[in-house]
Amino acid sequence: MSDPLFGAMRQSIIDGAPDTATELAHQALANGIDPLEAVNQGFAAGIKFAGDQFGCGEMFLPDLLASAEAMKAAIKILEPEMLKRGSEREALGKIVLGTARGDIHDIGKNLVATILSASGFQIFDLGTSVTPEQFVAKAKEVDADIVGVSALLTTTMAGQKAVIEALDRNGLRPRAKAIIGGAAVTAKWAAEIGADGFSRNAIDALELAKNLMGKVMNEVRSKGIAEA
Amino acid sequence: MRPRIQLLSPEVIGRILREAFELLMDPGVRVGSAPVVELLRSAGVEVAAGVADNDGVARIPERLVQQCLASAPRDFYLYNRQGEKAVHYGGDDVHFDPGSCCVQMLDPETLEARPSETRDLVRIVQVTETLPQFAAQSTAVVCSDACGDSRAASAIGDLYRLFVVLQHSDKPVVTGSFSAAGLQGMIDLLAADSGSPDKLRQQPRAVFDVCPSPPLNWSEFGSRNLLDLARAGVPAQIVSMPLAGGTAPVTLAGSVTQHAAEVLAGITLHQLAGPGSPVVWGGAPAIFDMRTGGAPMGAVETAMLNMACAEVGKRLGLPTHGYLVATDSKLVDAQAGAESARSAMLGALAGINMISGAGMLESLACFSVEKLVIDAESIASAYRLARGIEVRGDEVRGDEVPSEKARGEKVPRETLATAMFAQTGLSGEFLKLKETRALFRQEQHLPSPVIDRSARGSEPASDVFTRARIRVDELVSKYRKPTLSEDVLRKFQAIVDREADRAGVVGTETGKNVGAATGTTLGALGG
């Protein structure tokens, strides 16, 4: 089904206009549009476009954040109805995020959280200076698919290694994937500490998370087949 | 506050002008054409017999120069093909155009210089057309394929360059003639493009570089060009080029003085022929390199000379021009970047109205279109610097944000920071502020991917030349050729044919040569 409202919804996200997005969400409900459809065909298309535009340098961080905020505003209106209909948006995956122990720089981590959340991931944000134990506890609690550790400083990057080791020690990997990010993080470092992936910015992180979820699904499937 | 750099005190400028006026009387100025001698004599100037029949040494009194300065316009505009004002020659407005006129092109594959051809000029024009950093085109390179072989064909090489540029660009053009006789064809070409000679006079599309020969010599070619341009009402840009220590006093102040004298003499000839006709206080001064005997365009002293010469022109209230953003390096390397970016900044801070030279290597001998796109980034940074730090005292209207929500909403901005902190507290969430989104494009210059600011990825890092090559291809594919009417194209062709005949081109042989290249330009390179 294609509704003329979908185009406006997409645009409200691209414009980063939370008020318009809210209004359109209300309108969709009033018109009896399936809220899940409104998200998938309308608003989410806007986030996808914004992400692509950011990727090719046409949109910038403040624009991207505004788009994410508009997305959040729309979801907030549609969510109760989705719950009511039992058609809540299936999360793409569950991600535990935080900055490495001793690191209080969270701009990058917050951006990743915002973009992933707006794109349909369920985010458990542990904040800044998170210990390996806290990462492990949360990952266990929510049965996380992905654990993301951000570090800005070369001195706190060691904390990323500590988290990965803790995840391994507690048997959370390979079920959960560990990803890292931050200004000083390189592919070499990621390989060295055995991370499942790293990204340079929030949009790359989205791609990475989606790819890893594909992997998780495949592993779950093949495990299922093996057990059967 | 707009940042400015000044190298000369008002007292020193006064001394420079006083001595320049003295030079115009003693030793005087060599003038190399009978009509110019006649024009000066009829204005009461004493012209002593020179070496040749038609040249002489003129002693030009300050009184006459002052009278001519008074009739020269303080400012004027160049127009684009659409008839819009595109370049403002005057005040402290700053514009850039690519350098001219090279005979070599840097091959990005082999990194060797080879003779430039029509396809190179077209590529330069295409890239220049798409870059907002360049307010004007230039007839950047000589086309050796069309006009390189015979003497007669090269006699219309100047016309041919303009012919190619006009077909591929809507922007104003900085150009110049190679001979006294060649100018009229170029003016005719521009008039055909504008619609009529009168239209061209009212809304000039091009400015012509006219050069005296240092020291203090207005040759037949240069002085005849000045007279013809003044009479046609087409802007003339006097490009005096003293070489400090070689063809001019070794001191920078001494060379600036010689420059002033040469340009003052030029303005006098020009305004006597066409009072009120637009004329630019321009130049390409440089130091003389004491090792190589060359003119190092990337030297900081060369930039200083350009800045100081422009300061003298500004004191006289005239539009200004300089030659910067060039390098002496033969490759697009760190030296090229450093020299070009440095002089772009200095030129912008000096408030020079038109700054030529971008894209040029090897002390103006070789052109690189890859360097042109890198220079465009330096120019953008120079513009940003010259804009200074703006204190936004008024309120910003929400519609500066491309958002429906914010439309009509007013964001208070009377404070520098406290109003924004009132919203964020200590959360540090400035990225989410309306102000951030509304203002970051004004506060920050956002460079093209030529400038690498990305984090290190898994692929090896690229160098700027590699990125520039990609950027050139992208810009060329983005470029759209302007549509010229059949009528204008026919007129263009007729003028080129006529000038080829005039230059003594035997119709069958070299005429074909020019025609063939023309065909290429009109056809295959049309893109």
As for how many domains chain B has, the answer is: 1
Strand partners, B89: B76
pLDDT at position A80: 87
CA distance B200 to B176: 16
CA distance B143 to B159: 11
Does residue B428 form part of some domain? yes
pLDDT tens per residue, range A57-111: 888 989 988 998 999 899 899 988 888 887 666 788 999 999 999 888 888 898 8
Q: At residue B525, does pLDDT exceed 80? A: no
Largest pairwise CA distance in chain A: 55
Q: Which residues of A touch B432 (CB under 8 A)?
A: 62, 65-66, 69
- Minimal Cβ distance to A17: which of B405, B454, B457: B405
pLDDT at position A82: 84
Strand partners, B138: B174
Does residue B183 form part of some domain? no
Q: Which residues of A touch B403 (CB under 8 A)?
A: 15-17, 20, 66
- Minimal Cβ distance to B403: which of A16, A60, A110: A16
pLDDT tens per residue, range B33-80: 889 999 999 999 999 987 666 679 999 999 999 999 999 999 999 999
pLDDT bin (cut points 50, 70, 90) of residue B88 is very high
- Minimal Cβ distance to A15: which of B404, B428, B446: B404
Q: Which residues of B touch A201 (CB under 8 A)?
A: 455
**By the 8 A CB rule, do B176 and B501 touch?**
no
Lowest mean pLDDT among A59-63, B318-322, B341-345: A59-63
Interchain contact A215–B (C-beta under 8 A): no
Nearest chain B Cα distance for residue A16, angstroms: 6
Does residue B407 form part of some domain? yes
SS (H, E, C) B246-284: CCECCCHHHHHHHHHHHHHHHHHHHHHHCCCCCEEEEEC
pLDDT at position A187: 86
Lowest mean pLDDT among A218-227, B288-297, B440-449: A218-227
pLDDT bin (cut points 50, 70, 90) of residue B522 is very low
pLDDT bin (cut points 50, 70, 90) of residue B523 is very low
pLDDT bin (cut points 50, 70, 90) of residue B527 is very low
pLDDT at position A225: 65
- Minimal Cβ distance to A57: which of B431, B449, B458: B449
Q: At residue B511, does pLDDT exceed 50? A: no
Residue owning tokens 């400038």: B451
Nearest Cα residue in chain B from A152: B455
Instruction: Count CB neighbours of B293 within 10 A.
Output: 9
Q: Which residues of A touch B406 (CB under 8 A)?
A: 17
Q: Which residues of A touch B405 (CB under 8 A)?
A: 17-20
Please judge whether A107 and B431 are an interchain contact, meaning their C-beta atoms are less than 8 angstroms apart. yes
Q: At residue B505, does pLDDT exceed 70? A: no
Residue to mutate among A13, A23, A24, A65, with most B CBs inside 10 A, is: A65
Q: Which residues of B touch A20 (CB under 8 A)?
A: 403-405
Average pLDDT, chain A: 89
Q: Which residues are CB-contacts of B269 (< 8 A; sequence separation ≥ 6)? A: B31, B36, B39, B40, B218, B223, B226, B227, B230
- Averaged pLDDT, B387-407: 59
- Averaged pLDDT, B107-121: 96
Interchain contact A19–B (C-beta under 8 A): yes
Phi, psi of B222 (to 5 degrees): -65, -45
Q: Which residues are CB-contacts of A195 (< 8 A; sequence separation ≥ 6)? A: A160, A164, A178, A179, A180
pLDDT at position A227: 60
pLDDT at position A217: 75
DSSP character for B489?
Answer: H
Lowest mean pLDDT among B41-55, B89-103, B279-293: B41-55
Average pLDDT, chain B: 90
Q: At residue B331, does pLDDT exceed 50? A: yes
What value, to the nearest 5°, has the Cα angle with vertex B211 and ends B206 and B214?
Answer: 165
Interchain contact A104–B (C-beta under 8 A): no
Residue owning tokens 């109003």: B419
pLDDT tens per residue, range A125-157: 999 999 999 999 999 999 999 999 999 888 889
Give per-residue burial for B141-164: e unless 16+ CB within 10 Å, then b.
Answer: bbbbbbbbeeebbbbbbbbbbbbb
ipTM here? 0.76
Q: Closest Cα to residue B346, out of B326, B366, B362?
A: B326
Lowest mean pLDDT among B219-233, B392-406, B462-476, B480-494: B392-406
Please judge whether B402 and A16 are an interchain contact, meaning their C-beta atoms are less than 8 angstroms apart. yes
Does residue B427 form part of some domain? yes
Q: Closest Cα to residue B521, out of B143, B205, B130?
A: B143
Does residue B329 form part of some domain? no
Q: At residue A200, does pLDDT exceed 80? A: yes
Interchain contact A66–B (C-beta under 8 A): yes
- Minimal Cβ distance to A19: which of B405, B432, B454: B405
Q: Closest Cα to residue B10, out of B259, B311, B244?
A: B311
DSSP character for B451?
Answer: S
pLDDT at position A54: 86
Instruction: Please give the domain boundaries of chain A with CATH numbers for all domains.
Output: 4-85 (1.10.1240.10), 94-227 (3.40.50.280)
Give me the numbers of helices (H) and strands (E) for chain B, helices first please.
Answer: 19, 22
pTM: 0.86
Task: Express the helix, strand and coil content of chain B in percent, nearest 5 each.
Answer: 45, 15, 40
**By the 8 A CB rule, do B357 and B325 touch?**
yes
Does residue B358 form part of some domain? no
Nearest chain B Cα distance for residue A18, angstroms: 7
- Averaged pLDDT, A192-207: 89
- Minimal Cβ distance to B456: which of A107, A111, A186: A186
Please judge whether B436 and A62 are an interchain contact, meaning their C-beta atoms are less than 8 angstroms apart. yes
pLDDT bin (cut points 50, 70, 90) of residue B518 is very low
Residue owning tokens 């991370």: A195
Residue owning tokens 């077909």: B167
Nearest Cα residue in chain B from A23: B405
Q: At residue B323, does pLDDT exceed 50? A: yes
Nearest Cα residue in chain B from A15: B403
More confident residue, B279 or B518: B279
Please judge whether A12 and B404 are an interchain contact, meaning their C-beta atoms are less than 8 angstroms apart. yes
pLDDT bin (cut points 50, 70, 90) of residue B502 is confident
CA distance A80 to A74: 11
Does residue B131 form part of some domain? no
Please judge whether B449 and A63 are an interchain contact, meaning their C-beta atoms are less than 8 angstroms apart. no
pLDDT tens per residue, range B155-213: 889 999 999 999 999 999 999 999 999 999 999 999 999 999 999 999 999 999 999 99
End-to-end alpha-carbon separation of chain B, Å?
44
- Averaged pLDDT, B218-231: 95
More confident residue, B320 or A103: B320
- Minimal Cβ distance to B405: which of A18, A107, A201: A18
pLDDT bin (cut points 50, 70, 90) of residue A36 is confident
Pairing of strands B29-31, B56-59: antiparallel
The residue range of the domain holding B410 is 396-443
Residue owning tokens 């130049």: B283
More confident residue, B417 or A217: B417
Does residue B416 form part of some domain? yes
Q: What is the CA radius of gyration of chain B?
A: 24
